[in-house]
Every structure is written in C-alpha cells, then in structure tokens.
C-alpha cells in the first residue's frame, strides 16, 4: 500500500469541514510511475462494454412500454361515452381511428383488451422481481467478482424476453409473472457494475467511467423506443421481443469472452495500466469478503441520504420510462411511429448530459476546485430540481404536442446531470462495499418502479389531461424533495466504517495528533 504523508493513495486528506478528496498527484509517487492514459485502455474498453450492455438491458426493460400500445385493442380497453371513445384533446386527421384495431399491426397479430389498470400492473411487473436480487447481487458480486453476475443477469433477462409473446397469449397473469422473472434476473446488473468499478476505476476517473457505463441506460431507451415502434409497425409486436432478446444473448457471449473481474486477472491488460489501477485504488479495490458492517450501514446518514434521494429521483424517471408512450397515445394521439420516436427523444439529451456531467465532475475534482461532497450535491440539485420545474410546466401544457415534447425533452435532458451526483455516490462513501451499497440503494430506488406505473394507471383511468397533470406534478414534487434531502444530508467522504482496519488505525492516529496539536 503506497503511503504519502501517512495516507494511502486512494484515501482522502481531510479538510476542516471533514470532507475528503482522492489523493493523486501529477508527480510520481511510490508505486505509480505515471498516470496511464485512458484512451484505448482496458478500463475504457470495460466501460464501453458496460455501456452496450446497459443499452441492451434498458431495451429489454422499456420495449413493453411501446409494444403495449400495439398489443392493446383500444376499442375495448378505453372508457366510452354513448359508444364512442372519449378524446379530450382533438385527434389529428392523419392519426388512426380508435374505432377499429390499429392498422399499424400486420394481419394475424393478436391484441388484448387490457384496461389501464391492468396495463399499469404489467408495466410495473418487472420491478417486483427487480427488487429481490439487488442486495444479494451486490453482496455476491463484491465477494466473487461482478463480471459473471452482470453477464449472467443480462443473459437470463434476454432469454426470458424471447418468451414474451407466448406469455401474453396465455394471459395477463402469465405475462406479469414473466416480466417479474426478467426483473429478478436483471436486478444483479447494476450492483455488479459498481462492484467491478470498485476494482477498476482510479479515484479521479470514477465519474467519467461510471457515467459512461450507466449512460448506456439512456442510450438504450433512446434507441429501443423508436426501434420498437418501427418493428411493431413493420413486423408486428412479437418480433420486438425476439429481436431484443436475441441481441441480449449475443452481447452476453462477447462479455464472457472479453471481460475479467479485476485488473489482476485480466489476460490482456498492460503491466503499466495494471500497476496504475492497483496502486491508485489501493486496498479499497479488493473483495470485501463475507463480512459486511450491517449495523454501520443501517445507521449511516449519508447512505440514507442516497437511498431517499434516489427513490425520489426514480419516481419521475420510471413514470416517464414506463408510461410516456401511453401519454403520447391517449392524450396527444401520436401514431405508433411518432409516439416511439418522440418518447425516445428526451433520452438522447439525458445520454449526452450524463456523459458531459461525468467529465465535468472529474475535472472539478482533478483541479481541486470543489470537494467531492460539493460536486455530488451540485450535480444532484441540478439533475433533480430543474427537471421538476419542467415537469410542472408539462402538466399545464394541455393538448399542445409541441410544448409537451419540449418540456419532456428539457426535463429528461437536464436530469441526466444527476448521473455524476447521487447516482454514483456509493463508491465515494464506501468503495469496498460499493456493490452492496448500490444493491441497497437500488432496492429502495426500485420501489417507485413498482408503484409509479400502478399509480399512473389509476390517476389516468379516464385518459384526461387533468389526470396526467396530476401525474407530472406529483413526480415534480417528489423530485424536489429528493434534491432537498441530498443537499442537507449527502456526503462525499469515505465513511470510517468502510475503511480497512489498517487505514482506520492510521486515520485514528492522525486524528489524535491533530487534537493534541
């Protein structure tokens, strides 16, 4: 373990406020001859592989949101008045009529009479399973290594996705069970990712590497939503699940061939890069073993700040992710191809802003302009509070498709900046337990994924503008609460309970010297 002034290179020096910064100087330090360039490096290749993996993952997650529009027979599922489907907003002349099954579907493709409540349960089913494997996945990935869990989670979800048309044919309850199983398989992926970055990401590259990896989620949504609409229109909705499931299986094969759990075991990494990663991360990059400080986790204020803030942020995110195509269809009356493209547009901005936020955050830390805590709070406030204002504006945009798309795009785009804030804060406060912490925070953060689509289904059962206004205003209020919580209680410093025993002794000894001085 390389030491400088009594601290390991991955440990932070404390300032008067108690905040910490990763220690990595420009000049050479013991065990680190030079900073290994990131371009074309093994760690950057890993981030790119993760990026495409999460693109596939989110394609598998959101394809039902668009396909649902094609799967449902609107004639029987929408409330009627005097035998005619109600439309509060005018239906454009070029839009298909809801008096007959959608012409966007080829002949012979089945459709189902699921009401809005049933649709809400089906869209939320994924998250019932997703809840249960987050913590076990993070714990086991931190002990055994994350690559097998991330790859296996994607492979299992993709294989189950191939069965979606058969499950839908058997009934809504079968489709609900299948989607829940998909969520069960996918639940290990994000905790496994964080456990891997605890071994792979140098402290001053964390923001950009992790946000690049996670940006695959927004990119996947951006690609999958219009692609799903195109496939539904051209080949019928069952083809969506066959194509997306097949893509996930192919990615998993490449993942298992190319990726290793840590720099120690990677067969193709250069010695220079291997030494650079190992020495800058230090002992925090090792497996945490079977022992986890559960009581300390339970009593950790910074951890609870992450949990509550992510729950609030995810309410808005999952509301839009699962229900936006329905809003585009039932209120704004975009046809299936318009619907899927416009539903995807906000995620293009979120993808770009999340990548930019990671680069800017690392730059602020490298130049020592702000503390880690300040950086995480700034990006969290920006990514939660400003989008909340645009969601309120969306609620009052009425029947204007132009205003609705504009406010949606601005809200989701700016929301991408929170990727460099609360969403990677776990690795700041406890690098060794980052996988477990992400499992814990994602478990709580998934609760909105279960509840929000169901709440949307009941709030919008009459397909009115007022019902959707309630949906967006509730989401905005919850996001604002999340920003406030993290501003007051969030932290960017490594918690004492997360340090190895030898580093705890060093910190305690130095604290004693400071007190005596």
* Number of neighbouring beta carbons within 10 Å of residue 169: 12
pLDDT value of residue 411: 93
**Mean pLDDT, residues 134-158:** 88
Q: Please write the tens of the pLDDT for every residue from 274-315.
A: 888 888 887 665 555 557 788 888 899 999 999 999 999 999
Asked whether residue 82 carries a pLDDT value surpassing 50, the answer given is no
pLDDT tens digits for 205-235?
888 899 999 888 889 888 887 888 888 888 8
Confidence of residue 36 (pLDDT cuts 50, 70, 90): low
Structural domain includes residue 210: yes
Q: What's the mean per-residue pLDDT of the chain?
A: 80
- Quote the pTM value: 0.72
The pLDDT value recorded for residue 501 is 59
Say how far apart CA 343 and CA 334 lie, in whole Å: 10
pLDDT at 503: 56
Percent of residues, the chain, with pLDDT higher than 90: 33
Q: What is the 3-state secondary structure (H, E, C) of 81-96?
A: ECCEECCCCCCCCCCC
Report the C-alpha gap between 295 and 34 in whole angstroms.
40
Across the range 437-460, mean pLDDT stands at 87
Can you give the pLDDT at residue 35? 56
Say whether pLDDT at 162 is over 90.
Answer: yes
Q: Is residue 491 part of a domain?
A: yes
Supply the pLDDT for residue 225: 79
Task: Please check the confidence at residue 431 and state whether its pLDDT lies above 70.
Answer: yes
Q: Is the pLDDT at 489 greater than 90, yes or no?
A: yes
- Least confident span in 15-24, 32-41, 151-160, 300-309: 15-24
What pLDDT was estimated at residue 103? Answer: 39
Q: What are φ and ψ of residue 150, in 5° steps? A: -65, -50
Percent of the chain with pLDDT over 70: 81
Which is more confident, 226 or 74? 226
What's the mean pLDDT in 436-460?
87
Tokens of 398: 């009425």
At 465-474, the pLDDT tens digits run: 889 999 999 9
* 419 or 344, higher pLDDT: 419
128 and 450 in contact (C-beta within 8 Å)? Answer: yes
Residue 57 lies in a domain: yes
Domain-located, residue 14: no
Specify the higher pLDDT residue, 388 or 142: 388
Identify the band that residue 161 occupies on the pLDDT scale cut at 50, 70 and 90. Answer: very high
Distance between CA atoms of 65 and 324, rounded to whole angstroms?
Answer: 8
pLDDT of residue 345: 81
- For 4, which DSSP code? E
Sign of the CA dihedral running 342, 412, 217, 480: negative
3-class SS at 10? coil
Q: What's the CA angle centered on 142, arms 140 and 144, to 5 degrees?
A: 60
Q: Could you give the 3-state DSSP secondary structure of residue 264?
A: coil
**Structure tokens, 110:** 């089945």
**In-domain check, residue 400:** yes
Residue 435 has pLDDT above 60, yes or no: yes
Residue 22, domain member (yes or no): no
Average pLDDT over residues 442-446: 88
Q: What share of the chain is helix, strand, coil (3-state, %, to 5)?
A: 70, 5, 25
CATH code: domain of residue 394: 1.20.1250.20
* Mean pLDDT in residue range 376-401: 93
Residues 6+ apart with CB under 8 A from 166: none
- Is the pLDDT at 34 greater than 60, yes or no? no
Instruction: Provide the domain count of the chain.
Output: 1
Q: What is the mean pLDDT of residues 354-372?
A: 91
pLDDT at 10: 38
The answer to whether residue 16 sits within a structural domain is no
At 490, the pLDDT band (50, 70, 90 cuts) reads very high
Q: Between the CA of residue 134 and those of 102, 194, 245, 440, 490, what are the distances in Å?
A: 39, 12, 22, 7, 22
Residue range of the domain that includes 269: 41-81+116-516
pLDDT tens for residues 85-128? 456 777 765 444 343 444 356 777 888 888 877 887 888 888 88
| 3-state SS string for 276-331 | HHHHHHHHHHCCCCCCCCHHHHHCCHHHHHHHHHHHHHHHHHHHHHHHHHHHHHHC
The DSSP string of 94-106 is TSPPTTS--TTSP
Higher-confidence residue: 178 or 328?
A: 178
pLDDT for the residue numbered 93:
55
Please indicate, yes or no, if residue 88 is contained in any of the structural domains. no
């Amino acid at each position: 373990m390389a030491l400088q002034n009594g601290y390991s290179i991955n440990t932070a020096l404390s300032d008067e406020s108690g905040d910490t910064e990763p220690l990595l100087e420009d000049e050479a330090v013991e065990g680190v001859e030079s900073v290994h360039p990131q371009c074309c490096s093994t760690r950057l290749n890993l981030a790119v592989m993760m990026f495409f993996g999460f693109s596939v993952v989110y394609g598998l997650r959101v394809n039902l949101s668009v396909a649902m529009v094609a799967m449902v027979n609107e004639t029987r599922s929408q409330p009627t008045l005097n035998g005619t489907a109600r439309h509060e907003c005018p239906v454009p002349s070029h839009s298909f009529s809801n008096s007959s099954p959608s012409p966007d579907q080829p002949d012979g493709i089945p459709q189902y009479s699921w009401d809005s409540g049933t649709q809400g349960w089906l869209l939320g089913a994924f998250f019932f399973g997703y809840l249960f494997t987050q913590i076990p996945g993070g714990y086991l990935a931190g002990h055994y290594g994350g690559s097998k869990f991330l790859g296996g989670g994607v492979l299992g979800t993709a294989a189950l996705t191939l069965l979606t048309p058969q499950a839908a044919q058997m009934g809504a309850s079968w489709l609900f069970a299948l989607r829940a199983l998909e969520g069960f398989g996918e639940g290990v992926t994000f905790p496994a990712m964080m456990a891997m970055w605890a071994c792979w990401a140098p402290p001053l590259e964390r923001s950009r590497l992790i946000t690049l990896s996670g940006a695959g989620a927004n990119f996947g949504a951006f690609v999958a939503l219009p692609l799903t609409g195109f496939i539904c229109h051209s080949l019928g909705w069952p083809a969506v699940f066959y194509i997306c499931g097949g893509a996930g299986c192919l990615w998993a094969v490449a993942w298992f061939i190319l990726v290793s759990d840590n720099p120690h075991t990677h067969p193709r990494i250069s010695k220079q890069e291997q030494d650079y990663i190992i020495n800058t991360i230090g002992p925090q990059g090792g497996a945490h073993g079977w022992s986890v400080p559960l009581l300390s986790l339970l009593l950790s204020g910074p951890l609870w700040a992450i949990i509550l803030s992510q729950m609030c942020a995810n309410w808005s995110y999952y509301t839009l992710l699962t229900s936006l195509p329905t809003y585009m269809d039932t209120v704004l009356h975009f046809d299936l191809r318009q619907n899927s493209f416009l539903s995807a547009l906000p995620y293009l901005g979120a993808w770009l802003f999340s990548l930019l936020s990671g680069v800017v955050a690392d730059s602020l830390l490298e130049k020592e302009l702000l503390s880690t805590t300040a950086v995480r709070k700034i990006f969290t406030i920006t990514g939660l509070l400003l989008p909340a204002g645009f969601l309120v504006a969306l609620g009052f945009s009425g029947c204007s498709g132009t205003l609705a798309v504009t406010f949606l795009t601005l809200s989701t785009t700016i929301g991408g900046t929170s990727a460099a804030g609360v969403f990677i804060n776990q690795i700041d406060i406890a690098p060794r337990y980052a996988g477990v912490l992400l499992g814990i925070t994602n478990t709580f953060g998934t609760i909105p994924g279960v509840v929000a689509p169901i709440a949307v289904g009941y709030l919008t059962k009459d397909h009115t503008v007022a019902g959707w206004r309630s949906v967006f205003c509730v989401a905005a209020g919850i996001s604002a609460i999340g920003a406030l919580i993290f501003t007051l209680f969030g932290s960017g410093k490594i918690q004492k309970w997360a340090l190895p025993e030898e580093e705890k002794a060093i910190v305690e000894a130095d604290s004693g010297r400071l007190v005596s001085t």
